[in-house]
């Protein structure tokens, strides 16, 4: 399953003869960043599940730091 960024890159690449190469390079950079964000989110979700800390801990840590 492709991400939206991957679909956009494919579309841009199809018209690469009229699109600046820098834009294609930036898209590739952003796809790598997106990949890293997905990995991080997965790991954080797995850790939350494994430790039993979930949404409430994240919420308190982010919005109610006095309760952590």
The per-residue pLDDT for range 19-55, each reduced to its tens digit, is 888 888 888 898 899 889 888 888 887 777 677 666 6
3-class DSSP state for residue 68? Answer: coil
pLDDT at position 63 over 60: yes
CA atoms within 13 A on the CB side of 48: 12
The better pLDDT of the pair 23, 64 is held by 23
Written as six digits, the tokens of 10 are 């494919």
Q: What local confidence, expressed as pLDDT, does residue 68 receive?
A: 54
Segment 4-28 shows an average pLDDT of 83
**Cα distance between residue 31 and residue 11, in whole Å:** 14
Is 8 within 8 Å of 27 (Cβ atoms)?
yes
- Is 0.75 surpassed by the pTM of this model? no
């Amino acid at each position: 399953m492709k991400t939206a960024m991957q679909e956009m890159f494919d579309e841009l690449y199809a018209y690469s003869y009229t699109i600046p190469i820098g834009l294609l390079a930036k898209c590739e950079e952003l796809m790598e960043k997106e990949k890293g964000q997905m990995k991080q989110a997965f790991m954080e979700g797995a850790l939350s599940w494994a430790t039993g800390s979930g949404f409430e801990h994240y919420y308190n840590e982010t919005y109610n730091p006095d309760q952590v």
